[in-house]
Chain A
């Protein structure tokens, strides 16, 4: 490999990681944008999503890595798995909001955030008891198509993950900016009281944002599985923490910011593994986060929002 190839390959590696973190970061940022709540259960909704997708694929007869599909069956299987997984995790999100968080909405302080940490551990332990702690092999129906650029390889799944990340981000941006419900969400974000007076159904808007955020976590879980071919009960923590960092780095509450933060962290991770050592990746990521926050407390793309009160 020439150093040019090496650079290109590490760039591809970094963008893959970035796309994954960005997708997860979107869910954090959406819920934070509406409720100013850091939803730590997101980590493990993502993990549960991967296991739901694993189950759905199993039901369709894909267990292990032996079945490779192409053409319409491939698209069909992937689409069905996406829809079922996103709906299921979306409903988990709605359930968490409706049953646990709504009674706490009037409570100020960190109670709601602590509660999401608790929910996160409950989800973790449900899967640990129900499925077990071993790494599960994730069925992969994607054909392994690779394009070579000199010594660097670009795989079909790399392209797929970028494509899905971009589509979901554009869809979310459109939804939040231009649809009536999206406008309701932004209104709720700015001032729930005034939004309610203007006829926005705040409860359903909050429920919806949890649905979308958790459905995105489910989608990331499925993509993670298709990409890395495994699902494991502890997968939520490190991916989730970096995604959360991506959201903060980009400016929490800001959708393009989450994408930018994710891609940056992915690139930092791959380049620090190349240049210094994998063990130092976290140190570098979090040092950069600290530096950015010192100089731009609202994150790279975040704006100092006018105070809600």
Chain B
């Protein structure tokens, strides 16, 4: 009879041997490369962060399952840039995450962040480490603008890639749309004080003035305040044709509710910050009805077989429907996989330096969001701004984006 101690030793020995054997057999030659993913998993954007992140999870799970790149296993490591104190993304936390990724040579590339404020904090650190990141949704133009290269990419090479177009096009193209397609003459502009909101509202305002629209005023909202009735009452007294809101859902859903109460007839529009489930769930109908929203990517076309197949796969894995930014995240992850595949096939080493250079030249002619190529600043070459409008479809689920946001078309280019 074994004594208790020797029984334990024997069991431990068998377990250890077993684990060793399995690891050896399955991953004998596999090299594990890490890909960091920075999202705002805590706070106000937690739910959309999860939906976006799932796009990358799906891409890497499939690549690993089907051994798409022979000899390479991808390890997706999640980082959270949201903090409870900020209640949403926190640039300081994003910077910390970037430092963690840069200091570990195992990371060959990164995905994220969702928010431009986080991107501004991360980009200089990533540049120092020459670690490329692809953002699925941060659209502030400054980060990739060569004018600010000294600030955001001190090492010179582009490290901040995007699978979305920037606000440099989102704001102005929406102004074109409102002036030329809808036919407004005057507008009042609000922003939510964030890097994204101010940037997009600024570019919208500039274009409005070029188009000769009457910009009746500009105000800044406190995203944590509950009540915007005073500023909306002021707008009501000025009686503009349209209201433009640059900002994200935090202030946006409250604004939508109160706009409906105070300015029920006004034409209202925003950027991709309000293009999301949050407007439908948080503001609800009838308040959400009629809002125009732009998105800095081509729209996933329901008729497209590829996208249908992706949505089904996504739904089977995560029980929910993907956002457009789930698609851009998936495509961003695919860009990394493609790059690594090319490197591996050419027999080149897979390091962060080779991956960065590879991304610069990656060509995906037929991705879920159309052709993907990056210019020398990291921006997407294919610049398309889609416009949507909330149109209540009572027969369908009221919180499903695809059912309630009607695709209007592509906004006129400047």
Contacts and interface: CB of A to CB of B under 8 A. Distances in A.
Interface of A: 1, 3, 5-6, 9-10, 13-14, 16-17, 20, 64-65, 121, 124-125, 128, 132-137, 151, 155, 224, 228-230, 232-235, 237-239, 269-274, 277-279, 281-282
B84 A269 contact: no
Given A13-B227, A137-B284, A279 B254 contact: no
B43 A230 contact: no
A237 B87 contact: yes
B233 A10 contact: yes
A17 B227 contact: yes
A278 B220 contact: yes
B46 interface: yes
Contact of A224 (B42, B226, B261, B283): B226
Interface in B220-249: 220-222, 224-231, 233-234, 236-237, 239, 249
B39 to A, nearest CB: 12
B281 interface: yes
A237 B44 CA distance: 13
B106 interface: no
Given A128-B84, A135-B281, A237-B87, A270 B229 contact: yes
A228 B254 contact: yes
A278 B282 contact: no
Nearest to B193: A279
A233 B87 contact: yes
Most buried by A among B44, B221, B233, B250: B233
A228 B227 contact: yes
A155 B253 CA distance: 21
Given A65-B285, A132-B47, A228 B226 contact: yes
Contacts, number: 134
A303 to B, nearest CB: 32
Contacts of B253: 135, 230
B222 A282 contact: yes
Interface of B: 42-48, 84, 87-88, 193, 219-222, 224-231, 233-234, 236-237, 239, 249-250, 253-254, 257-258, 261, 277-278, 281-287, 398
SS class, residues of chain A in contact with chain B:
helix
Contacts of B229: 13, 16, 270
A133 B47 contact: yes
A133 B253 CA distance: 13
B398 A64 contact: yes
A274 B261 CA distance: 18
A220 B261 CA distance: 21
Most buried by A among B43, B84, B281, B282: B282
B230 A270 contact: yes
Contacts of B237: 1, 3, 5-6, 151
A234 B234 contact: no
Contact of A277 (B219, B228, B250, B282): B219
A16 B257 CA distance: 16
Nearest to A124: B84
B45 A137 contact: no
Nearest to A144: B261
Contacts of B231: 273-274, 277-278
B42 A274 contact: no
B281 A134 contact: yes
B233 A6 contact: yes
Contacts of A230: 253-254, 257, 282-283
Q: What 10 pairs between A and B have smallest CB-CB spacing?
A: A135-B282, A273-B230, A270-B230, A279-B220, A137-B284, A133-B46, A238-B224, A234-B87, A1-B237, A13-B229
A109 to B, nearest CB: 24
A243 to B, nearest CB: 11
Contacts of B285: 64-65
Contacts of B250: 135, 234
Given A230-B253, A270-B229, A133 B222 contact: no
Given A135-B282, A277-B219, A238 B84 contact: no
A278 B230 contact: yes
Contact of B278 (A135, A151, A281): A135
A133 B80 CA distance: 14
17 contacts: A6-B234, A10-B230, A13-B230, A16-B227, A17-B227, A65-B285, A65-B286, A128-B42, A133-B46, A133-B47, A133-B87, A137-B283, A228-B257, A230-B282, A235-B226, A237-B87, A281-B225
A128 B46 contact: yes
Nearest to B50: A132
B46 A278 contact: no
B226 A274 contact: no
Contacts of B87: 133, 233-234, 237
Contacts of A281: 222, 225
B227 to A, nearest CB: 5
A134 B226 contact: no
A138 B44 CA distance: 17
A9 B221 CA distance: 19
A3 B230 CA distance: 14
A234 B254 contact: no
A13 B233 contact: yes
